[in-house]
Amino acid sequence: MHDLAFPFVVLDAFFFYNFLADKEIKWYIILLFVNWRIRNITIAFQLAVFALICYFINLTD
């Protein structure tokens, strides 16, 4: 079930980050977002999402 949700989570994380990309508090919000994800999905799946978030952050900085 988590595997089926994977593309949607990636898109959610991508658009969520872009929405906050121009704000100074982006790191605080991203950490809250990641913490919320940990409580809802498996650790391995969370690490994959976190890696993608870091990848998009590196693309924009």
Q: Which pLDDT tens digit goes with each residue over 4-40? A: 445 555 556 666 666 656 555 566 667 777 766 666 6
Q: How far is residue 59's CA from residue 8's CA, in Å, rounded to a whole number?
A: 20
- Quick check: pTM over 0.95? no
Q: Which pLDDT tens digit goes with each residue over 48-60? A: 888 888 888 877 6
